[in-house]
């Protein structure tokens, strides 16, 4: 999406991805197989995204993001161009990212991430995996052009998680809208945000 302007295609794209997320993780493999073969991940790439998702949101009292299929969701969303993922690389991006460009000159985010973290990243001890991913996260949000693609990947993992049943109704509190109006709500330590309050999950 350019200049934060939503088009009808963007809106339907989000609706479709949310609907697809309802079928994951059980239907994740079938959805991945329906992708264009050029966009379909390898088994190693799928494991990478599952493991990365579980680092972004690890299991606590609720399942982690990888367990609920947010890694598969991110792969499918990236392949379909959600949030501008299939836009052509710009001139300033080409020097560092062209090696990971698809035939349409958009970035293959999963292949880029696999290269950036290293092919053996999922097999490393958890503490080492965490350190490498944390370093990438720090660079990406410091606006390092070579690390910036991580921001989109992470955002889609979060979208996938918080639009899943677990993320939307267990990790977050769910109250059927309109509910009731409470002008002052006391917050206790560990209180969960409401899934109907999108400002609570604003990670853009």
In a domain, 185, yes or no: no
Number of domain units in the chain:
1
Q: Could you give the angle at which helices 149-162 and 43-56 cross, rounded to 10 degrees?
A: 70
C-alpha to C-alpha distance for 83 and 152, rounded to whole angstroms: 8
pLDDT, tens digit, 9 for 90 and up, residues 146-169: 999 999 999 999 988 888 878 777
Whole-structure pTM value: 0.76
SS3 annotation, 34-74? CCCCCCCCCHHHHHHHHHHHHHHCCCCCCCCCCCCCHHHHH
In a domain, 167, yes or no: yes
In a domain, 3, yes or no: no
Q: Which domain holds residue 149?
A: 8-172+192-198
pLDDT, tens digit, 9 for 90 and up, residues 164-176: 878 777 777 666 6
């Amino acid at each position: 999406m350019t200049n934060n302007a939503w088009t009808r295609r963007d809106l339907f794209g989000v609706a479709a991805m949310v609907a697809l997320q309802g079928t994951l993780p059980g239907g994740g493999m079938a959805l991945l197989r329906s992708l264009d073969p050029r966009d379909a991940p390898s088994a190693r790439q799928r494991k990478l995204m599952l493991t990365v998702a579980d680092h972004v949101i690890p299991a606590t009292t609720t399942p982690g993001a990888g367990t609920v299929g947010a890694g598969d969701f991110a792969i499918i969303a990236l392949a379909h161009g959600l949030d501008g993922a299939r836009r052509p690389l710009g001139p300033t991006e080409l020097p560092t990212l062209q090696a990971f460009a698809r035939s349409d000159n958009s970035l293959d985010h999963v292949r880029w991430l696999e290269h950036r973290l290293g092919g053996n990243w999922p097999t490393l001890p958890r503490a080492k995996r965490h350190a490498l991913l944390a370093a990438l996260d720090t660079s990406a949000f410091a606006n390092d052009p070579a690390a910036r693609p991580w921001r989109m990947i992470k955002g889609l993992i979060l979208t996938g998680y918080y639009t899943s049943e677990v993320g939307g109704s267990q990790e977050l509190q769910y109250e059927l809208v309109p509910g009731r109006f409470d002008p002052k709500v006391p917050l206790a330590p560990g209180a969960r945000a409401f899934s109907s309050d999108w400002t609570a999950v604003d990670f853009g």
